[in-house]
Amino acid sequence: MSVGERDPFTGHQTTGHEWNGIKELNTPVPKPVYFFLITLGIFALAWTLLMPSWPYGSGYFKGLLGVDQKEVVAKSVADAARERAGWMARIEKEDLTQIQSDPDLMRTVRENGLTLFGDNCAACHGANAKGNKGFPNIVQSPMLWGNDPETVLQTVTAGINGTDPNTRVSQMLAFGRDGTLTQDQVSLLAGFVKSLSGPATVTDTNKEDVAKGKELFATTCVACHGDDAKGLVEVGAPNLTDDYWIYGGERKDIYESIFHGRQGHMPSWGARLTPADIKIITLYVLDLRKEGGTTAAAGGGS
């Protein structure tokens, strides 16, 4: 078939290509395509003239509009710094309850607290602050040293068994290892302690042992854990009747706690973070506890 043949139906010439009897028509490029090409060309030209574009020896063409992205960034950084200085000053100055009652400030606390907590606390307490074995759940469990905001701030600042001169000091003695109690006695105590949060573990066969454990508890443990075993904030001794365990609530974990003792170490943050950052983290934790919905039940024991 030859080039230039005309299609009788459309009137277009053919290109001369033919596939299995189907011939290709030589139709013109659609007008909208030209339109787009021309518009784009004009736009590109205008953009290079208006905005910073072509580099030359010692600089670049700044554009007729004089837009400078560096200035824009510098300005937004300066704005952010000014804003930060504003709320930082308030965090430094105001006391915890004042800050808590300001929803705007608390929004800032939440944003910044999340990062600060992630960087400093999550390694031990977990990203959600609900703890890991050996590191307490600080969202839901009662605070060993007391719940009110200033007390928690003090705990975080000074640490527990930390390096700060004001650190909180606590120790669960190693009753078995030190030979104060025999293995059997430790075992009886573990059975009794377990029964406090799990009454169902008391059966007809072990109820005498649990009673013996209770007697031992009354003579050996109440000084720190309290007559009702609900803990004493004065010595940071935990409530043994609830479902929150720092070191695990299985009978064998409890046995270990009593036999080998425990001495949790919480760093003294006063030496590592600014007072304002510690305030933010503390408020952030207290806020999580509010959301956790268990603040009312918490009381560090007695």
Binding residues for heme c: 121, 124-125, 172, 221, 224-225, 266
**Per residue in 139-174, is it b (16+ CB within 10 Å) or e — as a string?**
bbbbbbbbbebeebbbbbbbbbbbeeeebbebebbb
Nearer to ligand HEC, 87 or 145 (CB): 145
Nearer residue to ligand HEC within complex by CB, 102 or 253 = 253
Closer residue to ligand HEC, CB minimum distance, 14 or 240: 240
Do 150 and 157 touch, CB atoms closer than 8 A?
A: no
Least Å distance, CB 189 to ligand HEC, is 4
Name the minimum Å distance from CB 199 to ligand HEC. Answer: 17
Angle among Cα 143, 239, 234 to the nearest 5 degrees reads 60
Q: How far is the CB of 102 from ligand HEC (least distance, A)?
A: 21
Q: HSE-up of 54 (CA within 13 Å, CB side)?
A: 7
Alpha-carbon span 31 to 7, nearest angstrom: 21
Residue nearest to ligand HEC (CB): 264
Coil, strand or helix at 98: helix
Supply the minimum distance, in Å, between the C-beta of residue 97 and ligand HEC.
17
C-beta of 108 vs 190, nearer to ligand HEC: 190
As measured in angstroms, the least distance from the Cβ of 294 to ligand HEC is 13
Nearer to ligand HEC, 91 or 254 (CB): 254
| Closest to 158 (Cα-Cα) out of 286, 270, 15, 35 | 270
Tell the smallest beta-carbon distance from residue 49 to ligand HEC (Å): 54
Judge residue 296's burial from the number of C-beta atoms within 10 Å of its C-beta, 0-12 exposed, 13-18 middle, 19 or more buried. exposed
SS3 55: strand
Query: How far is Cα 41 from Cα 57, in angstroms, rounded to an integer?
Result: 26
Binding site for ligand HEC (CB under 6 A): 120-121, 123-125, 135-136, 138, 143-145, 152, 155-156, 160, 170-173, 175, 189, 193, 217, 220-221, 223-225, 235-238, 240, 245-247, 254, 257-258, 262-267, 269, 281, 285
Annotated binding site: 121, 124-125, 172, 221, 224-225, 266
Least distance from ligand HEC to the Cβ atom of residue 105, Å:
19
| CA distance to 33, 34, 55, per residue, from 41 (Å) | 12, 11, 20
Residue type at 253 in one-letter notation = D
**What CA–CA distance (Å, rounded) separates 31 from 272?**
69
Nearer to ligand HEC, 87 or 284 (CB): 284
| Pure H helices in the chain | 31-50, 69-93, 96-100, 103-120, 122-125, 149-158, 183-197, 207-220, 222-225, 251-260, 275-292
Select 125 or 230, whichever has its Cβ closest to ligand HEC.
Answer: 125
